[in-house]
Amino acid sequence: MAVNKKIYYIAGAALLILLLMKGNKALAAVTKNQKIRDCDPFGCGNFGASRGSRKHQGIDLVVSPGQDIFSPITGKVTRIAYPYASDLSYKGLEIVNEQYRVKIFYINPTVAIPSVVTAGQKIAEAQNIAAKYGSTMTNHVHFEVRNALNQVIDPTNLF
C-alpha cells in the first residue's frame, strides 16, 4: 500500500512539473504554424544562419501572405520599422516591455504607435516577401528578440 502511494505522489509531482514547464514559455506564438523557414536559395531561417559577412539575428517563420500575425509579448508598440530604406512598402513593428524588445518584419501592421498590445493579440498580417525576391524564396516573417540590456537573444526555444 505504501509503495502505491509513493508512485501516485511521484506521478503527481511529475505531472505538475510538466504543466508548470509547458505554461512557463516566455513568448506567445507569432504565427499559427510557428515553423522556422528551411534553407532556400536566399539563405536559411534559423538563428545565427550566415548572411554573408554577418549572422542572422532572428528567426524566419513560414507564413502565407495575408496570414494573421500575433504579438509574442504584452507591451507597447514603439515604432513602425522599415527593413529596406529603398523600399518602404515592406514594414515591421517593434514592441517593448520590461523584459524584451521584439521586432517583426514583412508585415502590414493592424495596430498603431503607441498601442499597448497583449500576448496573443493579432497585430498584423503577413506580407508577400517572395514578391520582392522571387518565387524561390519561402514567404516568411522575420522575428528577433533583444533582452532588457539590448542584447540579441535566440528566440528559438522561447515559445
Q: What are phi and psi of 144, to 5 degrees?
A: -135, 155
Q: Quick one: pLDDT at residue 17?
A: 53
The structural domains of the chain, ordered by start, are 27-153 (2.70.70.10)
Q: Quick one: pLDDT at residue 9?
A: 65
Q: Quick one: pLDDT at residue 19?
A: 47
Collapsed DSSP state (helix, strand, coil) of residue 65: coil
10-residue block means of pLDDT along the chain (159 residues)?
Answer: 63 53 76 94 93 92 98 97 94 97 98 97 97 94 96 93
Cα gap 137→123, rounded to integer Å: 24
Based on C-alpha coordinates, what's the Rg of the chain? 19
